[in-house]
Structure 1
Amino acid sequence: MDPEGNLLIADGFTALYDRHARALYRYCARRVGPDLAEDAVAQTFLIAFERRHVIEHGTADPLPWLYGIATNVLLRHRRDEVRGYRALARTGADPLLVPLAADSHEARTDDRVVARQRARLIARVLAKLPARQRDVLLLFAIAELSYAEIAAALDLPTGTVQSALHRARTKLRKALEDLER
């Protein structure tokens, strides 16, 4: 920041992109898959550039603001996200992740079966969550934002963020407990 607090003037918008694009991409890719994530991040930074006066006039940390824009961009992709979670719940194959190489098939078979069951269950729960609860939970879990940062990103009171996260976690916890029985 320059002495007057103008992050974009001092570092340039390119520096903002360089600092935060990867984190936004990870968040968006987890929500809508890698192909749509690139578009979502591009749209996020286009909107951010058009609204750069918000940062130039006092936003101390632009990352929650960028997550908020990305979350709004993803609203348009919500159907694809829910469809992906439903596919994962049905098949156990996560269409949003690139397959990872395994160490040893025999050694990891049991772990994979349990992980696939849990992944399907989690996807089913995520698909059924109301949009606000899903947004809050994923910003907390994937983007690792604090309550205050999530509140800033989604333009919600902190108490609303806390209650939405609590409700989402409760639903997820109950589903996992039912699986263990």
Structure 2
Amino acid sequence: MQAKSIDQPSDGDLMQAYAAGDASAFETLYDRHALPVWRFVQRSVQDTALADELVQDVWFSVVRQAAHYEPRARFRTWLFTMAHHRMVDHWRSHKPHASLDAETEDGATLADMLAAESGFGPERRLDSREQAQALLDALAELPAVQREAFLLQAEGGFSLNDIARTTGVSVETAKSRLRYARTRLRETLEATA
């Protein structure tokens, strides 16, 4: 979660400024939240092109709803909730068919994108890529509701209450989904180590 300094306006203030016509406020919001939202959607749908399309729809929704925005919850929660709803809408109308090892336009796989760049030699980078691919494979094996709870916390920094509110379930259900996701990820990664 990004710390807010005294000079930086809150997300809610920026959204209200944007609604009042300040285009730079939208740019600041976008800069703050674009990457975490994209990663959440991309890792949920497992298709870069589809993630780009869905996230673009989310940001268009932000633009369309700016005049009606009321800061009842944190902006980040509101934004990730819109992303969740957009994915649900997509899944209702399309059957998922993406592959984790599908190449992007530049020939890289998602594992390549996740592997941390470092000053270590090729062996270390290979280990990092293998670990990233193992994590992606383990994420892909999770039931969608568990994967979503895990990604909301890992990518969005969401609390259990935020996860529950975003996905429309009770806090206990969100807690169970998160616990099962962590357990299954740990077991899967230990088995492949």
Q: Please, what TM-score do these two structures have when normalized by structure 2?
A: 0.66
Two-structure CA RMSD over aligned residues (Å): 3.4
Q: Any conservation in 2 of the 1:85–1:126 contact (CA below 8 Å)?
A: no
What do the CA deviations read for 1:49-101 (whole angstroms, capped 9, x no partner)? 45557732x51312112101112223427725xx333659xxxx733754876
CA distance in 2: counterparts of 1:178 and 1:34, whole angstroms: 28
In the other structure, the counterpart of 2:28 is 18
Choose the corresponding residue for 2:74, options 36, 61, 70: 61
Equivalent of 1:39 in 43, 53, 59: 53
Give the % identical residues.
24
Which stretch shifts more, 66-75 or 13-22? 13-22
Q: Which structure 2 residues correspond to residues 85-164 of structure 1 after superposition, within 5 A?
A: 85=100, 94-95=109-110, 98=113, 103-104=119-120, 107-109=121-123, 111-164=124-177
Tell me by how many angstroms 1:168 deviates: 0.5
The answer to whether the 8 Å contact 1:33/1:96 transfers is no
- Contact 2:15–2:26 (Cα < 8 Å) also in 1: no
More helix by share: 1
SS class of match (1:60): coil
Q: Are the counterparts in 1 of residues 138 and 189 from structure 2 also a CA contact under 8 Å?
A: no
Give structure 2 stretches of 5+ with no counterpart.
Answer: 1-11
Count of equivalent residues: 165
Change (3 A) 1:69 1:11: same
Shift in CA distance, 9/69, structure 1 to aligned 2, threshold 3 Å: closer
Q: Is the 8 A contact 2:135 2:185 kept in 1?
A: yes
Between stretches 24-33 and 134-143, larger displacement belongs to 24-33
Kept in 2: contact 1:136–1:165 (CA 8 A)? yes
Q: What secondary structure is seen at the aligned counterpart in 2 of 1:79? A: coil
Aligned CA distance change for structure 1 residues 97 and 37 (closer, same or farther; 3 Å)? farther
TM-score by length of 1: 0.70
Q: 1:53 to 1:97 in 2, by over 3 A?
A: farther
For residue 30 of structure 1, report the CA deviation from its aligned partner: 4.2
In structure 2, the CA distance between the partners of 1:126 and 1:87, relative to structure 1 (3 Å rule), is: farther
Secondary structure of the equivalent of 1:84? Answer: coil
Cα distance in structure 1, aligned partners of 2:15 and 2:163: 26
Shift in Å at residue 36 of structure 1? 3.6
Once the two structures are TM-superposed, the CA of residue 17 in structure 1 deviates from its matched residue by 6.0
What amino acid does structure 2 have at the position aligned with 1:133?
A: Q
Q: Distance in 2 between matches of 1:101 and 1:123?
A: 17
Q: Residues 144, 50 of structure 1: CA spacing in aligned structure 2 closer, same or farther, 3 A cutoff?
A: same
Structure 1: gaps (5+ residues): 1-5
Change (3 A) 1:26 1:138: same
